[in-house]
Structure 1
C-alpha cells in the first residue's frame, strides 16, 4: 500500500511523542548570574520549554561586558540574561540589542523596563551593596562593627577589608558609582582614597569578599546583600550591614543580541525571564524582584535594605563607566588579585 507524506508526518510526530526526542534549538546565553543558580534557572525554563537548550557563558559582570563589546562585530551570544542594567544600557548605546517587548512586560515595575518602546532590555531582580561582617573574626581582631561607609576609614580596620575590583565586578562598579553619586565626584574619590588605605586586596568577583568573610579569611567583605544572606543561612557567623548613608544597587537584566539567528527562541526566553514563574524563581534569593507584588521576604536579608537604596542614575553610570573604571584602575589597581 502506498504511504502518503501525511501518514509519514503523523508517524514521525507519534515517534517523537513516544521517545521524548524533540528538535532542539540551542541558545548561547551570556550571564553574570551566580554560578550555583544556573542549573536551577535552566531547569525551571525547560519545564515549559524543553525544546530550547541554554548554553551558558558565565563570568563576572565586567568580564562578560568586555567580552560582549569585543565581539560587537561578530556576536557569539544570542541572549544576555542576568547582567547589570548599566551594562545593558552600554550595549544599547552600541546598537547591540534587538528591541522586544516580552509578554507580560506591562506587569513589571517601570524602573525595570528600558524607556524605549519597544524596550531594548528588561530587568528581573535587584541586588544591592552591603557589608559582610564576620563577628567571630572581628572579635579576635578587636574590631567593632561599622554602621556607615565612612566608618571603614577607621585605622582599626586596616588590612581587614576586601572589596571587588569594579573593572571585573558589577558589584564593585555599583559601589564605586554609588559613592560618587552619594558623596559627589571629588569627595567620592577622596572617600575611596581613604578606604584604599584599609583595603587588604581587591577581588575579581562581587560575591568573593563575602564568601571570604563567611569562611573567616577576612573580617569584612564589601559585597552584596544576597550573598551575605545566603552565607548566613548556611551557618556563617555573619552580620549583613546596611551602611547608614545608603547603598548602591543595580538590576539583573536581559536582552536579545541584535542579529541572532535564533530570534524566536530568544524571544521565548525573554518572555519567560519576566514571567510569574521566573519572578518566583529569582525571589528564592533576591528580595527585590521586577514584579514587587510577588515578592516574599528572604531569610536573613537585612532590615531596611529597600529603603536604603539610593536614587541610582543608571544612565549617568553607564555613560561614565569607562572614565570611572580608568580612574579607579590608575589609583588602586596595585592591590588587585592577579587575573
Structure 2
C-alpha cells in the first residue's frame, strides 16, 4: 500500500505539474513551495497513535519534499497525551498527530494555537474555533462483523443489537482510557441512548456485561480481531474496516440505526516546541489538497476539505444517521467518563 500511495503521488506530481517541493518556512507544504535547493535542514519529533501504514508514507513524502527529518514516536492516544502533559515543562515532541479531536481538545492547554494556511478550504464544522488543533480526517464509527461467523440474517443493525445474549464475549472493543477512537465510540453510544440521564450509562453497563469482561488495549487490535475471527463483532473506525475489506477480509460494516458520529481526528503543535516553523509546515502539509485526496483514495479516510471529491461506493456523510455529538461535553468530561467506564469494567459500579 505504501508503494501504491507514493506511486500515485509521483503521478500527480509529474502529470499535473501542480505540486512542487517546498521547504521554506514561508511556504505551505501541501500547496507548493520552493525548489530542492531551498529545502530545510530542520527536524520534527511527532507523537502519533496512527497505524504505521498511514504514518510511514505520509512522513516519508513530507521529508522528501521539505528536507525536514522526522522522528516518529508511536503509541496509544491516551498514553501519548499523558506524555505530552508530563513533558510540559520541557517538551520533547513537536507535533501530536491523530487521535480524536475531542481527546485533543481535553489537552488543549498543552498545544500551541495555529491557523493553517489551508483553513479556507476546510469544512467549517470540522474546525476548532480556538485553533488548538487542526482536523485531519473525518472518521465515522461503525460496527464491523465477520461474515463467516455472523449469518446474514443475524447481522446487527443497531447499537441495541449488540446486547443480544448470542454475542456474549464476541464483541471487540478497545479501552477508551488508551484509545482516542474508542473514547469517541463510548461517547457516541452514551449520546445515542441519553448522555444527560442514566439511560446512556445503563446501555454501557449492559454492553460491558455482554463483552464478558473482554477489552482490548488498542484500536488496532479491534481492527484485526474481527477479520482474524477472534471476535464476531467489533466497534471500530470506518476506514479501518474498509481497508481490511479492500484487502479481501470477509467482513462487513454497519452504520448503527440509532446514529453514529463522524468526529474528525486531528493534529496539534505541542506548546513550547523548539521547531515551530517546521511544525507549521507539517500541519499545512497534512491538510493540503493532494495529501487529502490521496489519504482518502488510499486509506478510505474522509477528507475534511470541501474541494476533494467523495470516496466512491461509500454513503455520503450527509446520508449517515448521526447523533448530536456534544464535542465540548466530551472534552470537558473525559476524565470522569473514563473513570466511570473503568469502574463498570471492574465491577465497582
Give the equivalent residue in structure 2 for 1:87. Answer: 103
Give the equivalent residue in structure 1 for 2:311. Answer: 297
Residue pairs, 1:269-308, within 5 angstroms: 269-283=282-296, 284-297=298-311, 301=314, 307-308=320-321
Q: Which runs of 5+ in 1 are unaligned?
A: 1-18, 335-339
Inter-CA distance 25–150: structure 2 relative to 1 (3 Å threshold): same
Deviations 1:219-239 (A, max 9, x none): 111111111111111111111
TM-score, normalization by structure 2? 0.82
Answer with 1 or 2: which has the greater Rg: 1
What is the CA distance between 1:240 and its match in structure 2?
0.7
Give the equivalent residue in structure 2 for 1:122. Answer: 134
Paired residue secondary structure (2:299): coil
Give the equivalent residue in structure 2 for 1:15. Answer: none
What is the alpha-carbon distance in structure 2 between the residues aligned to residue 291 and residue 220 of structure 1?
32
Paired residue secondary structure (2:344): helix
Deviations 1:192-248 (A, max 9, x none): 111112214111212322311101111111111111111111111111111101113
Give the equivalent residue in structure 1 for 2:148. Answer: 136
Paired residue secondary structure (2:263): strand
Inter-CA distance 305–210: structure 2 relative to 1 (3 Å threshold): farther
What is the CA distance between 1:162 and its match in structure 2?
1.4
From 184, 196, 204, the counterpart of 2:208: 196
More moved, 306-315 vs 55-64: 306-315
Paired residue secondary structure (2:149): helix
TM-score, normalization by structure 1? 0.84
What is the CA distance between 1:52 and its match in structure 2?
0.5
Decide which structure has greater strand share: 1
Inter-CA distance 333–325: structure 2 relative to 1 (3 Å threshold): same
From 220, 239, 248, the counterpart of 2:261: 248
Inter-CA distance 152–23: structure 2 relative to 1 (3 Å threshold): closer
Give the CA RMSD over aligned residues.
Answer: 2.3
Inter-CA distance 260–187: structure 2 relative to 1 (3 Å threshold): same
From 191, 214, 231, the counterpart of 1:181: 191
What is the alpha-carbon distance in structure 2 between the residues aligned to residue 317 and residue 172 of structure 1?
12
CA contact (8 A) 2:208 2:344 kept: no
